[in-house]
Amino acid sequence: MKKTLIIGATPNADRYAYRAAHMLTSKGHPIVNVGIKQGTVAGVKIEKPEEIHDDIDTITLYIGPALQDDYYDYIFKTRPKRVIFNPGTENPKLEKALKERGIQYIEACTLVLLSIGQY
């Protein structure tokens, strides 16, 4: 199972990040929710990007490029094996910085990857 950190987590059931949290946990992947909203998603509290988790396999992004700058250091310190840029989150600047640090990234939809067994 791939421990996944969701950046842009929200308790709003209409958002894709909410759906991803529930699908990840239903498929047995432990999650960490990070965002600006308060609450819990899929039974996991949403936290601020303060605590560095050193056991993250995947970070999945649900915030656009304009908001990602504030998360660069957090992402780099977390040192995930990969970062998923969901539709609308693609960011060539961050992708280049990840590549320079040896962190894999893909432009894909977490929900689709989970649905087709390619997560």
Which DSSP category does 63 fall into? S
Instruction: List the CATH number of the domain containing 74.
Output: 3.40.50.720
- Torsion angle, alpha carbons of 111, 115, 118, 119, to 10: 40
- Band (98; pLDDT cuts 50, 70, 90): very high
Structural domain boundaries, residue 52: 4-115
Could you tell me if 63 and 90 are in contact, meaning their C-beta atoms sit under 8 angstroms apart? no
pTM to 2 decimals?
A: 0.97
Beta-sheet pairing, 40-41 with 44-47: antiparallel
Per-residue pLDDT tens for 15-59? 999 999 999 999 999 999 999 999 999 999 999 999 999 999 999
Per-residue pLDDT tens for 85-95? 999 999 999 99
Per-residue pLDDT tens for 55-74? 999 999 999 999 999 999 99
Q: What pLDDT was estimated at residue 86?
A: 98
Number of domains in the chain: 1
Q: What pLDDT was estimated at residue 8?
A: 98
